[in-house]
Amino acid sequence: MTRAAPVAIIGAGEIGSGWAALFASYGAEVRIVDPDPRALERSRDALACARTLRKGAESGRILRSANAADAVRGAVWVQESVPEGLVLKRTVLASLEGVLPPDAIVASSTSTLGASVLGEGRSFANRLLVAHPLYPVYAVPVVELCGGRETTQATIARAAETLRLAGREPIIVQRELPGLVANRLTAALLREALDLVAQGAIGVRDLDHLVSRGIATGWATRGPLATELAGSGASTLDEFLKDTEGPMAALLASLADWRAMPPWGREALRRATQGAVAMPGECEWAAMIGRVMKAAEPSG
């Protein structure tokens, strides 16, 4: 992104306002389209958080636009972040026909829908892709990029380059799958976690404690596959797979595989999650994430 290149954010809830803060902190002029009058304020609050995380962060302009046509005028990047739902998202994208600048990239924050279905029938389907951020958007550097059937490789390369200029670390996902990669991995772990709590094997706080002070701390330094590889020499993924026929077979066979949790489990979870601890605010959490990032760097 060139400095002050306009960016349009369509839908400025938690995710959209995070995108706004991110782009503004790198000097872009950001235009927000959102029916909620608090969207602008939310984005500016997020920008204040983003600025505390990074030396040299700018305090770019964040403005509210009345409609998509106004917002995308001259824009190089349009980030769609309206609530998840195919009809709503397709309606929003349709409103860009005829007003989108000829080179602008259109990115959707969705994780459950694919660029193929979102772009179907759109004249700009070749420059439309999914750019799925994690939360808080300006604090977590990785963004998943995934094109659809009509998305060109040039679009993906250009999108990755633009995000790199905003300090992001784009990860290219090669197949359109529900949840892309991050949400699939999360859902796999979360399902097992909820199942264990519902079964009474462990409490909610103990489970979180075990992950935060154990598993995730290792993964934050080098990821789960490398951890597995390091566990017993370079051939470990292979070992893991061999192991699935040995000691691990009973474990894999007994993992949760429900698609919707049965009623008894919902009841147990409702009881188990009562009185959950208050969480730090977004700004404080973003700062913790920033510290962890730094601590996990090999040179740190």
Gyration radius of the chain's alpha carbons = 21
Question: At its nearest, how many Å lie between a second copy and the CB of residue 16?
Answer: 15
- Minimum distance of a second copy from residue 135's CB (angstroms): 7
**Is omega for the bond preceding 136 within 30 degrees of 0, making it cis?**
yes
- Which of 155, 174, 151 has its CA nearest to residue 105? 155
Residue with Cβ nearer a second copy (41 or 176): 176
- At its nearest, how many Å lie between a second copy and the CB of residue 235? 8
Nearest residue to 219 via CA among 190, 170, 185, 192: 185
Tell me the three state secondary structure of residue 78. Answer: strand
- Give the nearest distance from C-beta 170 to a second copy in angstroms: 10
Q: What one-letter code names the amino acid at 38? A: R
Of the pair 2, 274, the CB lying nearest a second copy is at 274
Nearer CB in complex with a second copy: 154/185: 185
Nearer to a second copy by Cβ, of 165 and 193: the residue is: 193
Closest distance of CB 261 from a second copy, Å = 5
CA distance 84 to 126: 22
Q: Toward a second copy, which CB reaches closer, 74 or 262?
A: 262
Rounded Cα distance between 294 and 300, Å, is 6
